[in-house]
């Protein structure tokens, strides 16, 4: 059995800021493994440990995603090897383009039984790359996955649905997007990180993958800051809670909020 974890090496918008012209300043944001990807790796690692599957990390993106630092950060969490596609032309790639590249990498690896991803990427957070990837592969996708057991061809998948949970049986290959709290990721120790440096890394050339082109071209024609309401920013003295409460209610009634 082969399990692929598709992960992202990217930056956190909490560390970015928007300039007045609507462009985004990332200069203070350090790249790292996307927040929820360690959860995906942990879910996949546990399944791999039970089934003896090979666990392969895949990432595609801009310059930097294939650096030793980035690969070790992923490998240190228990992947057996990683396959990367690092290309400057992917810096501004849309969800569909990234999914199409990932699909070609998965075909290149061959005989993949399962693709596991995180809940969402920390930068774009569209939650769409796994679903377009499944569409490209012609596989089913399931999101909000909380558990995976069984083996290839006989997977039992727990997932959350609005208002509850379900158990699914999946008889073929699939793409599973884990929920943000599907597993508690392990923090890699020094031994894991040292071992990570010795694990195989394969860098694929984007042009050689022959990714079929998209039918849509996106052109950014303008950037701006979102309109935000101007907040009053009034602080109410809380030395006497009862008085503070009265003052708050008066203000809220004046604002028509009560």
Partner 1 sequence: MSVNAWIIVGDQPTVGNLVTVARSLGGTVGAVVAGPRSVAEIVASSGVDKVVWCNAPDDVPAEANATALADAVAADPPRVVLAGRNPGERVLLGAAAARLKAAVLTGARSVAVEGDGVVVVNAVFGDIADETVAVSGPVALLLDGGSAPSGDGASVPIEEVSAPPLGVRVVETRTHGFDQVDLNAAHRVIGVGRGLKSKEDLALIEALAVAVGAEIACTRPVAEGLNWMGKDRYIGSSGARIAPQLYLAIGVSGQLQHMVGVTGAETIVAINSDPNAAVFKETDHGLVGDLYQLVPAITAALK
Cβ proximity to partner 1, 64 vs 94, nearer residue: 94
Cβ proximity to partner 1, 205 vs 237, nearer residue: 237
Cβ proximity to partner 1, 191 vs 210, nearer residue: 210
The 10 Å Cβ neighbour count of residue 65 is: 23
Element (H, E) at 37: helix 37-51
Q: To the nearest whole angstrom, how small is the minimum distance from the Cβ of residue 165 to partner 1?
A: 6
Three-state secondary structure call for residue 155? strand
Q: Measure the CA angle with vertex 87, ends 83 and 92; round to 5°.
A: 120
Q: What is the dihedral of CA 164, 170, 176, 181, to 10 degrees?
A: 40
Tokens 């956190």 correspond to 12
Q: To the nearest whole angstrom, how small is the minimum distance from the Cβ of residue 51 to partner 1?
A: 18
Question: 71: closest CA among 187, 217, 193?
Answer: 193
Q: To the nearest whole angstrom, how small is the minimum distance from the Cβ of residue 238 to partner 1?
A: 4
Please say whether the beta carbons of 50 and 154 come within 8 A: no
Q: To the nearest whole angstrom, how small is the minimum distance from the Cβ of residue 204 to partner 1?
A: 20
Tokens of 12: 């956190």
Q: To the nearest whole angstrom, how small is the minimum distance from the Cβ of residue 192 to partner 1?
A: 24
Cβ proximity to partner 1, 64 vs 158, nearer residue: 158
Cβ proximity to partner 1, 89 vs 166, nearer residue: 166
């Amino acid at each position: 059995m082969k399990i692929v974890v598709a992960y992202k090496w990217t930056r956190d918008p909490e560390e970015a800021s928007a300039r007045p012209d609507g462009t985004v300043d990332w200069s203070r944001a350090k790249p790292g493994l996307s927040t929820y990807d360690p959860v995906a790796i942990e879910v996949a690692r546990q399944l791999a440990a039970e089934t003896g599957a090979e666990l392969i990390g895949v990432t595609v993106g801009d310059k930097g995603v294939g650096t030793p630092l980035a690969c070790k950060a992923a490998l240190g969490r228990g992947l057996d090897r990683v396959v990367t596609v690092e290309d400057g032309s992917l810096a501004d790639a849309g969800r569909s383009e990234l999914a199409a590249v990932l699909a070609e990498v998965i075909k290149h690896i061959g005989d993949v039984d399962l693709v596991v991803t995180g809940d969402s990427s920390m930068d774009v957070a569209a939650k769409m790359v796994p679903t377009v990837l499944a569409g490209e592969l012609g596989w089913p996708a399931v999101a909000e996955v909380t558990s995976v057991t069984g083996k290839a061809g006989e997977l039992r998948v727990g997932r959350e649905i609005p208002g509850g949970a379900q158990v699914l049986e999946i008889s073929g290959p699939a793409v599973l997007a884990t929920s943000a709290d599907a597993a508690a990721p392990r923090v890699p120790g020094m031994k894991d990180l040292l071992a990570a440096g010795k694990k195989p890394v394969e860098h694929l050339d984007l042009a050689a993958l022959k990714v079929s082109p998209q039918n849509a071209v996106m052109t950014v024609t303008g950037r701006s800051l979102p309109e935000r309401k101007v907040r009053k920013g009034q602080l109410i003295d809380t030395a006497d809670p009862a008085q503070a409460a009265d003052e708050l209610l008066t203000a809220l009634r004046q604002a028509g909020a009560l």
